[in-house]
Structure 1
Amino acid sequence: MKNNKSTSFGLAITTSLVIGTMIGSGIFLLPASLAAYGGIGLFGWLFSALGAICLAWVFAKLSQWQPGLGGPYHYTRIGIGEFPAFLVAWGYWISIWTGNAAIAMAAVSYSKLLYPPLAESTMMSTSLALAFIWLFASINLLGVREAGLTQLLTTCFKAIPLIAFGLIGIFFIDIEQITFETTTTESLPGSIIAAAALWLWAFLGIESASIPADNIREPKKTIPRATIIGVLLVAIVYLLGFVVVLGVIPAEQLAKSDGPFADASTIIWGSWAGIAMTFVALVSTLGALNGLILMGGQMPLAAARDKLFPKLFGRLNRRSTPSLGIILSALLTSTLILTTVSKNLLGIFNFAILLSTTSILIPYVFCSAAAFRFQESGKQKFKAVSLIIITLAFLFSLWALAGAGQEAVYWGFILMLLGIPVYTGLKIASDKQSQPDNE
């Protein structure tokens, strides 16, 4: 599908997709999780950042070699085959609508800090989460361009304050407070790996720019640039922010913090800054929600065009958006949110989030493998450095998948198998359409 310049994304919006999806709600709580590792968390950042950069390079190259709607799904289909591509699209779609439920609830949590009465009403909290889902689903239904502009706006509102926090806050840190002593019983290598595993989740979303490829101006140029720029900027923002928080909040206090960035801002500039940073966290979370809803419509659209997903996901409204797919995903997310109203069903919600983690990581493994094929196909001149980076990206993806934990990998595999009847049904329907009428 060709797009004119008035409806397609340029470098700014495409880069905002990467930044806006990667910087979600997790980074604002991550320093508290890393408090037990102290300064060793910096080595964990370095490990995950290098792995993310290798993956960014892989997606940048894939978008140059074989650009196409659906990103990871597209690369897997042409590089490895239809069935693995279906598994990527199937798992990614489910991970998005389940993950969006968690993101909406995280947004409600930040809203409670800004408006405490929300914490006293389950109905109000649930209604607000549903409102967030349908607000951004509606924006996406208005058009890809509108969703892209919303993404750019929310990304600016969170990236600029975070950059300012890191660049200015660095002058307020107590360098003696950043020690490499840990409160865990793990060895130094074990602590670095454990810290890197925590950092990993903050780097997910590297593939974001590649998914709406048909809506991006000059995708062979724009997607690689946006991917590399986005990942590098996010890595720098994370590093600066973590150093400031670590150098401002005492370790024992940091480990108990419910909002490390807000607490650090309060210590440096006062209570108004803490409130402002909480608002930034809210905007950041909502921006990630908007980006994921966009991708949750685009990847199934690509698979539906190839007859590897139900037809309804390929139907476009008059604004050229996959409206039925977006609406169905929003309905499923809403249903999942409503399960949290009952404490007895809260386990279902947590279980669904567990499933989504593996589904996000598996495309990284497939895409790294697909890059080997395109690199060695003769379409691009062979470079030893290129092969090394692809290998590192593949190994990092496997490590990330293993780091998700046995339970996540186990149930993620079951989730993939549940897609087999869907795939089989699509193939049966395709066979019937291709058979000649002998009557």
Structure 2
Amino acid sequence: MSSTPSPAAGLPAELQRRLGVPDAVMIGLGSMIGAGIFASLAPAARAAGSGLLLGLALAAVVAYCNATSSARLAALYPASGGTYVYGRERLGEFWGYLAGWAFVVGKTASCAAMALTVGTYVWPGQAHAVAVAAVVALTAVNYAGVQKSALLTRIIVAVVLAVLAVVVTSLSSGAVDAARLDIGTDATAGGVLQAAGLLFFAFAGYARIATLGEEIRDPARTIPRAIPIALGITLVVYTLVAVSVLLVLGPGGLAAADAPLTEAARAAGADWLVPVVRVGAAVTALGSLLALILGVSRTTLAMARDHHLPHALAAVHPRFQVPHRAELLVGAVVAIAAATTDVRGAIGFSSFGVLAYYAIANASAWTLTPAEGRPARAIPVVGLTGCLVLAFALPLPSVVIGAAVLLIGAAAYATRRVTTHRQ
């Protein structure tokens, strides 16, 4: 197995461990709760109909397996990079590289999608301009230090959970029809799988906890605790909101909704709730964007340390103790993407990359020994199988583009290896 090369002179070797369990949980929540509630419910309902809740349950099972595999690996390898590090150490350099490539490219698309979500809710007529401004502002927050990022994420998550609590309470007290749930009666297996793949996009934020492994105190204890806590809270929130919206709109109404929570509030006679939902959506997307930029920059740092990306990106700021060059580069790329792409295309492209990333995480967890904290054998098997099935159940354009990007990354790796060998 390979080991991480020492950084060049002048590049600090380690980030400081400043984050405890509450901070790690909040970063995970900030990554997960936004995308699922405000971006994935309607597309998932269009795919699965009344099987939406079945898709949510399936996505949660796969996410749990991935979270457990990731937690065990992160405790053993508490370094920045997440599955990029795990794949390299357990499966070989190529698989680590491929995981890192899938994460950086896919999550950059996720950043753009979240930035555009902010723009759509804050100022629909100038969504792209607002998206770019949000990216610049949050890149500056991350640059100032991970503690400030964790504090802002804690505030955002508290606001969002309060808004969603008001939404669920208001919809539950409005005019609803329990028969509208009608779970699974018009669903197909393919539709449920596609819905699960779309909803999994929203669960994937717990990776941010693992990618910050080098900045977490007592990672062997903190990471395995923080990941399931964040995932469990997210699942409860998703289920409550999905059931509330289905009771009001029904599967057909939810599938046709551009802004499901807003339309559910109107249908339940709670027009006063509409501006609250709009603000909550914008704040939630900001929280997701903050944590996404944080995670992508850390994986970029890890890949730069190993010379899979320009080594200059491995620099850590002497005062703020953050990978400042990686953060500035990621912020610039996301700003360009937010100015030129659309939300649906970004989400579809991202989902395939995220599932490929976690497939490698589960394969890595399979190689652990009992002494290394190996999970039950069924967990990485179900996780790996689930990731592959959900990835290829996504809409065909997402599969084709995602597979093409992975092949481009693999070709770049092979070219670099041949060039290095000749030298």
Q: Do both share a fold (TM > 0.5)?
A: yes
- Given that residues 75 and 221 in structure 2 are in contact (C-alpha distance below 8 angstroms), is that contact kept between their aligned partners in structure 1? yes
Mapped partners of 1:50, 1:421: distance in 2: 33
2:226 maps to what in 1? 226
The residue type equivalent to 2:178 in the other structure is I
Q: Quickly say closer, same or farther: Cα 1:75–1:281, change in 2 above 3 A.
A: same
1:304 maps to what in 2? 304
Q: Cα distance, 1:429 vs. partner?
A: 8.4
Mapped partners of 2:250, 2:308: distance in 1: 53
Q: Cα distance, 1:176 vs. partner?
A: 3.0
- Given that residues 174 and 247 in structure 1 are in contact (C-alpha distance below 8 angstroms), is that contact kept between their aligned partners in structure 2? yes
1:399 matched to 2:393? The reply is no
Mapped partners of 1:388, 1:181: distance in 2: 27
- Given that residues 181 and 250 in structure 2 are in contact (C-alpha distance below 8 angstroms), is that contact kept between their aligned partners in structure 1? no
Q: Quick one: which of 342, 364, 368 aligns to 1:370?
A: 364
Q: Quickly say closer, same or farther: Cα 1:396–1:236, change in 2 above 3 A.
A: same
Mapped partners of 2:154, 2:398: distance in 1: 32
Q: More deviation in 145-154 or 263-272?
A: 263-272
Q: CA RMSD for the aligned pairs?
A: 2.8
1:360 matched to 2:379? The reply is no
Mapped partners of 1:18, 1:52: distance in 2: 13
The residue type equivalent to 1:305 in the other structure is R
Mapped partners of 1:224, 1:195: distance in 2: 28
The residue type equivalent to 2:136 in the other structure is W
Larger Rg: 1
1:130 maps to what in 2? 132
Mapped partners of 1:104, 1:84: distance in 2: 30
The residue type equivalent to 1:72 in the other structure is T
1:322 maps to what in 2? 323
Q: Quickly say closer, same or farther: Cα 1:309–1:26, change in 2 above 3 A.
A: same
1:109 maps to what in 2? 120
2:149 maps to what in 1? 147
2:35 maps to what in 1? 25
1:77 maps to what in 2? 88
Residues 158-185 of structure 1: CA deviation (Å, up to 9, x unaligned): 1232244335644544323322476x6x
Mapped partners of 1:153, 1:427: distance in 2: 45
The residue type equivalent to 1:134 in the other structure is V
1:413 maps to what in 2? 403
Mapped partners of 1:154, 1:57: distance in 2: 26
1:291 maps to what in 2? 291
2:163 maps to what in 1? 161
2:377 maps to what in 1? 387
Q: Cα distance, 1:133 vs. partner?
A: 0.8
Q: More deviation in 229-238 or 147-156?
A: 147-156
- Given that residues 170 and 243 in structure 1 are in contact (C-alpha distance below 8 angstroms), is that contact kept between their aligned partners in structure 2? no
- Given that residues 100 and 289 in structure 1 are in contact (C-alpha distance below 8 angstroms), is that contact kept between their aligned partners in structure 2? yes
Residues 71-128 of structure 1: CA deviation (Å, up to 9, x unaligned): 111111111111111122122112222332222112111113xxxxx52xxxx43322
Q: Cα distance, 1:425 vs. partner?
A: 6.8
Mapped partners of 2:45, 2:321: distance in 1: 47
- Given that residues 316 and 322 in structure 2 are in contact (C-alpha distance below 8 angstroms), is that contact kept between their aligned partners in structure 1? yes
Q: Cα distance, 1:372 vs. partner?
A: 0.9
Classify the secondary structure of the residue corresponding to 1:249.
helix
TM superposition score normalised by structure 2: 0.87
Q: Quickly say closer, same or farther: Cα 1:387–1:164, change in 2 above 3 A.
A: farther
Q: Cα distance, 1:267 vs. partner?
A: 4.6
- Given that residues 170 and 270 in structure 2 are in contact (C-alpha distance below 8 angstroms), is that contact kept between their aligned partners in structure 1? no
Within a 5 Å distance, the mapping from 1:10-89 to structure 2 comes to: 10-35=20-45, 37-89=48-100
Q: Cα distance, 1:15 vs. partner?
A: 0.7
Q: Percent identity?
A: 26
Q: Cα distance, 1:229 vs. partner?
A: 0.6
Q: Cα distance, 1:157 vs. partner?
A: 1.4
The residue type equivalent to 1:146 in the other structure is K
Mapped partners of 1:19, 1:381: distance in 2: 25
2:259 maps to what in 1? 259
Mapped partners of 1:325, 1:381: distance in 2: 32
1:115 maps to what in 2? none
Mapped partners of 1:371, 1:294: distance in 2: 24
Mapped partners of 2:302, 2:101: distance in 1: 12
Q: Quickly say closer, same or farther: Cα 1:370–1:265, change in 2 above 3 A.
A: same
Q: Cα distance, 1:391 vs. partner?
A: 1.2
Q: Cα distance, 1:268 vs. partner?
A: 4.5
1:240 maps to what in 2? 240
Mapped partners of 1:34, 1:362: distance in 2: 20
Q: Cα distance, 1:64 vs. partner?
A: 2.7
Residues 154-213 of structure 1: CA deviation (Å, up to 9, x unaligned): 12211232244335644544323322476x6x64x4453344334332222232210011
Q: Quickly say closer, same or farther: Cα 1:31–1:129, change in 2 above 3 A.
A: closer
The residue type equivalent to 2:356 in the other structure is I
- Given that residues 45 and 195 in structure 2 are in contact (C-alpha distance below 8 angstroms), is that contact kept between their aligned partners in structure 1? no
Mapped partners of 1:286, 1:273: distance in 2: 20
Q: Quickly say closer, same or farther: Cα 1:276–1:140, change in 2 above 3 A.
A: same
- Given that residues 143 and 321 in structure 1 are in contact (C-alpha distance below 8 angstroms), is that contact kept between their aligned partners in structure 2? yes
- Given that residues 49 and 255 in structure 2 are in contact (C-alpha distance below 8 angstroms), is that contact kept between their aligned partners in structure 1? no
- Given that residues 25 and 281 in structure 1 are in contact (C-alpha distance below 8 angstroms), is that contact kept between their aligned partners in structure 2? no
Q: Quickly say closer, same or farther: Cα 1:406–1:251, change in 2 above 3 A.
A: closer
